[in-house]
Structure 1
Amino acid sequence: MLKNKFISLFLFLIVTFTASFTGGILTIKFKDPWYSLLKKPFFNPPDWIFAPVWTILYFLMALAIWNIWIKSNKLNLVYLYFIHLIFNTTWSIVFFGFKNIELALINLIVIILFIVILFLKYKDISRLSAYLMIPYFLWCTYALLLNFNLMILN
């Protein structure tokens, strides 16, 4: 059983960080010079902060779904989590690849809705998993505010 726990954790980390890697590569490829030339709100963080914050958030997300999996084996929640990851990765494509700030804002609203749904479903199985989603929710809410302000300013 212990071996299966480590294998499942490894798989959840691989899938989650594949989404992270994909979004990161797309961001690097399409970010500049477009993003650097945008007018940004005063509360826009420095570029260097995004990689460490997202690394922590992806790790917490993977731990949350893994904990749900080992406690419940609910495949429907795993599917929901994976669908959410698709939207998460899509944001980078829409924002940086297509340079569509408005559509990225809608995508971010969908991501936040997924986070809330996952939080509510997780809390019935594991409060720890639900709590692990709170930093992600807070960061995405902050990102929504940033995205909205970028839309207004540009």
Structure 2
Amino acid sequence: MSAIIIAVLVLATASTGALFKPGEWYQELRRPSWTPPNWAFPVVWSILYLAIGFAGWLVWEAQGMGLAIALWLAQLVFNAAWSWLFFGRKRMDLAFVDVCLLFLTIIAFILAAAQVSQTAALLFLPYAAWVATAATLNRAVWRLNPDAAPA
């Protein structure tokens, strides 16, 4: 049963990317030359969501509710909020704050999960790297387009 609940939570989080898509607004923004190609985002996120779900399940099975699961749940909230803030609200500033909080929560999860499941902690390392890249990209796009967000 825990695997089903975790899968539903991860799918709900992932669905925000489908609800709040980049669209025309994003396509018209200036982006740095190192921006990953559009096809990379769904591929990478699909793999990461599988790892996120498996890591959550490993920690839940090992410990149940505790600090690591609380952090795992918190990162889902920050993760889900980013697409809504960046693409839905077009608030690159708030999205940047959110993605920074997401990154910190991921790091905190890694540290907490390492006490319970080394595998769960390791599964979050690529996620941390991708989110660090996403935060850097978010900041770069925001800086390149200071007038693109609503006041």
Which position in structure 2 is the counterpart of 1:130? Answer: 121
Give the letter for the 2:36 counterpart. P
The more displaced of 121-130 and 9-18 is 9-18
Query: Residue 44 of structure 2 aligns with which residue?
Result: 53
**Structure 1: distance between partners of 2:16 and 2:88:** 12
Q: Is residue 2:67 matched to residue 1:73?
A: no
Alignment of 1:34-113 (within 5 A): 34-113=25-104
Matching residue of 1:4 = none
How far, CA to CA, are the matches of 2:114 and 2:67 in structure 1?
15
> Which of the residues 111, 117, 122 maps onto 1:120?
111
- In 2, Cα distance between the equivalents of 1:22 and 1:39? 23
List runs of 5+ in structure 2 lacking aligned partners. 146-151
Task: Could you tell me which runs of 5 or more consecutive residues in structure 1 were left unpaired when the two chains were aligned.
Answer: 1-6
Asked if the contact 1:8–1:66 (Cα under 8 Å) also holds between the matched residues in 2, the reply is yes
Aligned residues: 145
2:139 equivalent to 1:139: no
User: Hey, what does 1:14 align to over in structure 2?
Assistant: 8
Once the two structures are superposed, what CA deviation does each residue of 1:7-49 show, in whole Å capped at 9, x if it has no partner? 322221121111101232222xxx2210000001000011111
Q: Is the 8 A contact 2:16 2:84 kept in 1?
A: no
Q: Secondary structure at the match of 1:47?
A: coil
- Percent identity reads 31
Instruction: Give the aligned residue type for 1:85.
Output: L
**Structure 1 or 2: more helix by fraction:** 1
Q: Kindly report structure 1 stretches of 4+ aligned residues shifted beyond 6 Å.
A: none
**Quick check: 1:23 aligned with 2:8?**
no
Deviations 1:89-139 (A, max 9, x none): 110011001111111111100000100110000001111100000010000
Q: How far apart, CA to CA, are the structure 1 residues paired with 2:70 and 2:134?
A: 24
Secondary structure at 1:33's aligned position in 2? helix
By how many angstroms is 1:79 displaced? 3.1
